[in-house]
Structure 1
Amino acid sequence: MSETPLQLPGYAHVYSGKVRDLYAPVGTDGQPREDQLLLVASDRMSAYDFVLDTPIPDKGAVLTQMSLWWFDQLADLVPHHVVSTDVPAAVAGRAVLVERLEMLPVECVARAYLTGGGLGEYRASGAVSGIELPAGLVDGSPLPEPIFTPSTKAPVGEHDEPIPYSGVVAEIGEDLASRVRDLTVRILQRGNEIATERGIILADTKVEFGMRGDEIVLADEVLTPDSSRFWPADEWQPGRQQPSFDKQYVRDWLTSPASGWDKTSGEAPPSLPEDVVAQTRAKYVEAYERLTGQTFRS
C-alpha cells in the first residue's frame, strides 16, 4: 500500500485499501463528485493482514472481470453497484465506475463447507458464529446447509473478528440483518449451482452490501478467488486441507519452512519467489476461465 496512487486525469484519489484504490470523478465545478467512485483493483496481494511486497501480475484484471461476470449471474437476486466499465485507459480492464453507497458496517460471510477460521471455531465449541453444527465434521466437510457467519469490518491492519447473528442485528436492525443474511446465503448457493457444473466448489464467500435508500445493493467484488475459497471438485477430499484456486496457495507458502517466516512474529512476510507468483497467477486465470468459459485477456 506504500505505492504512490496513479494520477488519473479527471479523477481525485480518495483512498487506498489493501488491494483496491478509490478515486472520485471530478465534476465540472472542479470538485470530486459524491455520487460515484472509480474502483481500481491493483495487483497487490494481502495475506495474514499484511500487504505483500510482491504483486501478482493481472490479478486486478482477473478479479474485476470475474466480478462483472458474476454480477450478471446474480442480477435477478440483487442489484449491483456498477455504473460503467468505460474507465481511463491506464486502468482499463481492472477498474469500474460504481455508485457510491452507504456501506453496511459488517462483513457478510456464508459457508457451505467447513474450513479455515470456521473450522477453528467448530473445533473449540462445536459451533460457528453461534450456530451449532453436527459432531464429527472435519476440514472440508460439507455443511447440512449453508450458514451465515458474519464478522466485524476491521480497519486496515487489524483482523476481522467473527460475530454472532445477534451482533449484526444490534448493528443494523432485525429487518436489514435478516435480509442480508438471506441474500448472502443465496449468493453462495447460486454460485455453487453454477460453479459445480464447471468442476469448482465454492466453500465459502465474503460479500459486501451498500444501501440505495431502502434497497440492498451488492458492492465491491463478488465470488472471486480473493473473497471466496475455490476448490477443484475432482480433488476434494474431506479430512485435509483442500487444493485451491485462491490465495490459500500463497498463505501455504508463507507458513511453510521454505519462506522462513513466522506469522506470529509481527514482522512483515518475505517477498514471494517467482514460481509462487507464476503459480498464483495461473490459478486465478484458470478459475476465471473455467467459471466463465471465456479466455482471459489482460
Structure 2
Amino acid sequence: MTIDSRLEALGWRHRYSGKVRDLYESDAHPGRLLVVTSDRVSAFDHILSPGIPGKGALLTQLSLWWFGRLGEPTHLAAAHPSLGQHLPPELAGRTMIVHTLDMYPVECVVRGYLAGSGWAEYRASQSVCGIPLPAGLQEGDKLPEPIFTPAFKAPLGEHDENITFERMVEIVGAADAEALRETSLRIFTTASAVAEDRGLLLADTKFEFGRDAGSDHPVLADEVLTSDSSRYWDAETYAAGGMNRLEAYDKQIVRDWLAANWDRTGEPPELPAEIVERTAARYQELVDRFTLA
C-alpha cells in the first residue's frame, strides 16, 4: 500500500503536494492539517531523482527546534512522537499536525548579506526589490542592515517572483504588509544572534505566514530557518576569505552539479550517489550545529 492509501485508511485524505511537503486533512480533526515532509529535492523548478535520504526528518527537526525558541505564534499543533503510534512508521520524525491558516500569497525574504538572486539583481540595478544599496558591494558582502525583500509565490513548477514592498502592499494590504515586514525582520535578528553563537552566519532566509481567525498577528507557518529556506555560512570560513567562504549548508551542491550537467531542456538527469551523499551530509551538519550545541 502507498503512504496515501495507508493514511486514507486512518482517515487522512490527501489535499495537496508541493515540491517537498504533502498535506492531508481529516474530518476527525477539523481545522487541522497533517504535514508530511518528504525527502524530495528540487532545483531550477524541477523535482529531482533520487531524493536526499533523511532530508524530510532533518527539515522537520530543525523547524521544530526553531518553533520552540522564537517566541512567535506558529501553526504547530502537535508533532511526532506526540501524534501517537497510529501513523505509518516511515513517517516518524517527518510529520506535524498544524492549524489550518489562510496563507499569505507572498514569501517574506530577509537578507543580511548579498547573495543569490539578490546579488544578481544588485549587479543589474544596484538595488534589491526596489531597495537601493551602496555602490561597490561584492558577492557575499554584509549589508549595512538586513533588508526585507518579498517574493510573490508562484504556482507549483514556476519560479517565485521578487517584488517591491509597494507591490506587496497592493497584494495583501498596507497593515498586513507592515506587520509581515516587522515580524520577519525581528525573527531574522533573533535567529542571526542564535546562529552566530554557533559559529554560523545567517545570510538570508524566507518565512511564510498565515492568518488565524483568532488573532491579528501573523502566524509563522510551513518550515522555518532550515537548509531549504535559508542560506547559512560558516563564520570562520567566511572570515578567512577564499573560494569556499560562501559554501552554504543547503542544496547548492545539487544546483552546481545540475548546472554543469544539464542544459535545462527536457527532464533533468538523475543525481549521482556522491552528490546525494554530500548533500545529505550538509543537511545533517547544520542540524547538528544547532541541536547538539
Question: Normalising by the residue count of structure 1, what TM-score does the alignment of the two structures yield?
Answer: 0.90
Q: Is residue 219 of structure 1 aligned with residue 218 of structure 2?
A: no
Q: Quick one: distance in 2 between partners of 1:83 and 1:4?
A: 22
Q: Work out whether residues 139 and 240 of structure 1, in 8 Å CA contact, stay in contact via their aligned partners in 2.
A: no
Residue 285 of structure 1 corresponds to which residue in structure 2?
A: 284
**CA positional deviation for 1:240:** 5.6
Equivalent residue in structure 2 for 1:84, among 78, 81, 87 = 78
Segments of structure 2 that go 5 or more residues without pairing to the other structure are none
**CA positional deviation for 1:41:** 0.2
CA RMSD of aligned residues (A): 1.6
**CA positional deviation for 1:198:** 0.7
Amino acid at match of 1:175: A
Q: Work out whether residues 139 and 239 of structure 1, in 8 Å CA contact, stay in contact via their aligned partners in 2.
A: no
Amino acid at match of 2:256: D
**CA positional deviation for 1:26:** 3.2
Mapping 1:198-217, distance limit 5 Å:
198-213=198-213, 214-217=216-219
Segments of structure 1 that go 5 or more residues without pairing to the other structure are 28-32
Q: Work out whether residues 129 and 163 of structure 1, in 8 Å CA contact, stay in contact via their aligned partners in 2.
A: yes
**CA positional deviation for 1:208:** 0.3
Residue 275 of structure 2 corresponds to which residue in structure 1?
A: 276
SS state of the match for residue 69, structure 1? helix
Q: Is residue 102 of structure 1 aligned with residue 78 of structure 2?
A: no
1:173-215 deviation digits (Å, cap 9, x = unpaired): 1111011011111112111100111111111001100011223
Q: Quick one: distance in 1 between partners of 2:149 and 2:185?
A: 10
Q: Quick one: distance in 2 between partners of 1:57 and 1:204?
A: 25
Q: Work out whether residues 105 and 153 of structure 1, in 8 Å CA contact, stay in contact via their aligned partners in 2.
A: yes
1:117-172 deviation digits (Å, cap 9, x = unpaired): 00011000000000000111111000000000001110001110110000111111
How high is the sequence identity, in percent, across the aligned residues? 50
Q: Work out whether residues 4 and 13 of structure 2, in 8 Å CA contact, stay in contact via their aligned partners in 1.
A: no
**CA positional deviation for 1:34:** 4.3
Q: Is residue 61 of structure 1 aligned with residue 60 of structure 2?
A: no
Q: Is residue 254 of structure 1 aligned with residue 258 of structure 2?
A: yes
- Corresponding pairs, count: 280
Amino acid at match of 1:250: V
Q: Quick one: distance in 2 between partners of 1:180 and 1:191?
A: 16
Give the 3 Å change call, closer, same or farther, for CA 152–217 of structure 1 in structure 2: same
Structure 1's consecutive aligned runs of 4 or more residues displaced over 2 angstroms after TM superposition are 3-7, 237-241
Q: Work out whether residues 114 and 142 of structure 2, in 8 Å CA contact, stay in contact via their aligned partners in 1.
A: yes
Amino acid at match of 1:211: R
**CA positional deviation for 1:10:** 2.2
Question: Normalising by the residue count of structure 2, what TM-score does the alignment of the two structures yield?
Answer: 0.91
Give the 3 Å change call, closer, same or farther, for CA 283–190 of structure 1 in structure 2: same
**CA positional deviation for 1:4:** 7.2
SS state of the match for residue 255, structure 1? helix
Mapping 1:100-249, distance limit 5 Å:
100-213=100-213, 214-236=216-238, 242-249=246-253
SS state of the match for residue 185, structure 2? helix
Q: Work out whether residues 106 and 153 of structure 1, in 8 Å CA contact, stay in contact via their aligned partners in 2.
A: yes
Q: Quick one: distance in 2 between partners of 1:82 and 1:246?
A: 24
SS state of the match for residue 226, structure 1? coil
Q: Quick one: distance in 2 between partners of 1:89 and 1:220?
A: 22
**CA positional deviation for 1:105:** 1.0
